[in-house]
Structure 1
Amino acid sequence: MTAFINRDNIAEIDPFVLWDHFETKQAARPVGLDYHGHSGVDTVSYPVAGNLKHIDSSGCQTTLQGGDIHVMTAGGGIIHKDTITPQNGNAETFQLWTALPADKGEMGDASSANYTTSRLPLVEETDSTTKVLIGSYRGTQSPVHYSIEMTYLDIIIAPYGVWNYQPDKNQTSGFIYLRSGIAYISGNQLHPCQMGILETSSQPIQIKTGNTGTRLFVVLGEPLNQPLISSGASVHSSKENLAIGKNRIAELMSTVKTCR
């Protein structure tokens, strides 16, 4: 597993507080984490190879197939466990976290929602196919309900192709992450498993490819402009809320231990 955003650099790309890419090609059995907790964040799980079984304290129990999206709003506290079952030894999943607004959501009720890949729209263009995971692209809207204004796109670009996009003027923070191939943006070259942090600009995003196609993610959002205090598992706008979230998680974990 490779984490590209953590508590040491979360202020750099507010409101995004975690981006994880997990991949294994020789898994003989299911892998995952037992019950653990979060608060103050939305988490987005996106498996692209293998199946992901999710159970959490909001009452959600579901299994995601490759290409599905799961959104878990931690609010004031939630615990969950995830188990990835490989297919032919392969498992790969991406996880994105965003902070919740301090004035609403940060200490709210926890919830979960699952969206199958068949519900997520594809936008076909001459050089590319864009899957709209969250937000909108070229007037096509994802059905995913989310706590903040953001755009999350999974993009395949053909060899010698060009992908252009004019972001929403308020979504001034974001990054590009390359899953495969090579991409060129603003004179920079990105290779697989590299992240490029976008600078604030009124200009469109333009991504080009060379003699190989590429698959990448573009993630954009409106900064919350609030303190981001992280314990690693939780992110809040104050130490007081972080402590409340920690206590709530401890209460939920004691319930799990009692039930075992």
Structure 2
Amino acid sequence: MREVVEQIHGQPASDGAGVNLLRVFGGSRPQRFDPFLMLDEFGSEEASDYIGGFPSHPHRGFETVTYMLQGKMEHRDHMGNVGLLNDSDVQWMTAGRGVIHSEMPKQTEGKMRGFQLWVNLPAAQKMKPAYYEDVPGNEIPAYQLNKLFVKAIAGEACIDGQQIQGYFTVPDTDALFLDVHLQSNSEVTMPVAEGYNLLVYVYEGEELLLGRKAVKTKSQMLSRFNPEGDLLVTNNGEHQARFIVLAGKPIKETIVQHGPFVMNTVEEIQQAVRDYDAGVLTA
């Protein structure tokens, strides 16, 4: 079994036009999460925490995955796409050469909750054309197993002998993105390809144990594992636990990030800034 090598508490942050969120990981030493760059959790019943949204802004060199648990968020971009994310919907956006978009709440009260994951692109794909897709929540594959529910956003896995196939396939990194709900007093095991980075983020639950060493984790904590072996999660709590499982093949390239741009060199970042300033980022 894989064992935990690092645990990180999500940190309060603010982004966009004053949106309060929890930065689960991102920023320093990004290579240890490769191919993933950042994970944010947003969630509040206070409109003031999210109403400012994320006005028009650029991206280049990576992909974003937005997973709405609850709420309404509208996407608009330079390609003319307009989409509304509702409860349980997923958006996959490949920035590639360049995207300029906005993400704005379409509610003024009630709870908004969800995640945004940044997935890196290899150098050979960073300048490919932009791509965008909204997927209704009822089209994302869902599996009900013994004491276990899995929503499979991306990738494939075998859980307790059941083959799990996500909606999205990610050839460059073989990325896996699962939302797992584990009932009390139960456990789940899952093989993970050798050498792939594996992350588990708990967003509900307080009595979870990871690996044979039974390392404790809890809500709003990310655990990173060593690169060999299977995943084992045990829920000893009295209530259902909910957690995100991320796994992927490392790209193993230099990562240089400057705000909304993620490239391989400082010179490429400088070019992205020049392109944006000149109005040709998406050309």
1:132 aligns with 2:164: no
**Shift in Å, 1:142:** 2.1
Q: Which residue of 1 aligns with 2:42?
A: 22
Cα displacement string for residues 190-216 of structure 1 (whole angstroms, at most 9, x for unaligned residues) = 111111112211x21010112221000
Please give the secondary structure, in 1, of the residue aligned with 2:138: helix
Unaligned runs of 5+ in 1: 256-260
**Shift in Å, 1:98:** 1.2
Please give the secondary structure, in 2, of the residue aligned with 1:243: helix
Of 117, 136, 140, 1:116 maps to 136
Q: Which residue of 1 aligns with 2:31?
A: 11
Structure 2: distance between partners of 1:254 and 1:229: 18
Structure 2: distance between partners of 1:54 and 1:253: 21
* Matched letter for residue 155 of structure 1: V
**Change beyond 3 A, Cα 1:252–1:157:** farther
Of 253, 272, 282, 1:226 maps to 253
Please give the secondary structure, in 2, of the residue aligned with 1:123: strand
Of 64, 74, 82, 1:53 maps to 74
**Shift in Å, 1:9:** 2.5
Please give the secondary structure, in 2, of the residue aligned with 1:118: helix
**Shift in Å, 1:167:** 1.3
Q: Which residue of 2 aligns with 1:258?
A: none
Q: Which residue of 1 aligns with 2:223?
A: 196
State the aligned residue count: 252
* Matched letter for residue 169 of structure 1: E
Please give the secondary structure, in 2, of the residue aligned with 1:11: helix
**Change beyond 3 A, Cα 1:31–1:85:** farther
Does the 8 Å contact 2:169/2:175 carry over to 1? no
Does the 8 Å contact 1:135/1:141 carry over to 2? yes
Q: Which residue of 2 aligns with 1:177?
A: 201
Q: Give 1:133-152 correspondences, 5 Å limit.
A: 133-138=153-158, 139-146=163-170, 147-152=172-177
Structure 2: distance between partners of 1:121 and 1:8: 34
Higher alpha-carbon deviation: 1-10 or 225-234: 1-10
Structure 2: distance between partners of 1:17 and 1:148: 12
**Shift in Å, 1:144:** 1.9
Unaligned runs of 5+ in 2: 1-20
Does the 8 Å contact 1:76/1:248 carry over to 2? no
Does the 8 Å contact 2:203/2:220 carry over to 1? yes
Q: Which residue of 2 aligns with 1:34?
A: 55
Does the 8 Å contact 1:77/1:248 carry over to 2? no
Structure 2: distance between partners of 1:161 and 1:49: 27
Does the 8 Å contact 1:6/1:232 carry over to 2? no
Structure 2: distance between partners of 1:233 and 1:167: 30
**Shift in Å, 1:251:** 3.9
Please give the secondary structure, in 2, of the residue aligned with 1:149: coil
**Shift in Å, 1:137:** 2.8
Structure 2: distance between partners of 1:23 and 1:114: 20
Structure 2: distance between partners of 1:253 and 1:8: 29
Please give the secondary structure, in 1, of the residue aligned with 2:269: helix
Q: Which residue of 2 aligns with 1:206?
A: 232
Q: Which residue of 1 aligns with 2:268?
A: 241
Structure 2: distance between partners of 1:114 and 1:254: 23
Runs of 4+ that moved beyond 6 A? none
Give the superposed CA RMSD.
Answer: 2.0
Structure 2: distance between partners of 1:233 and 1:4: 17
* Matched letter for residue 178 of structure 2: L
Structure 2: distance between partners of 1:254 and 1:132: 33
Q: Which residue of 2 aligns with 1:163?
A: 188
Structure 1: distance between partners of 2:281 and 2:144: 49
Higher alpha-carbon deviation: 132-141 or 43-52: 132-141
Aligned-residue sequence identity (percent) comes to: 21
**Shift in Å, 1:140:** 3.1
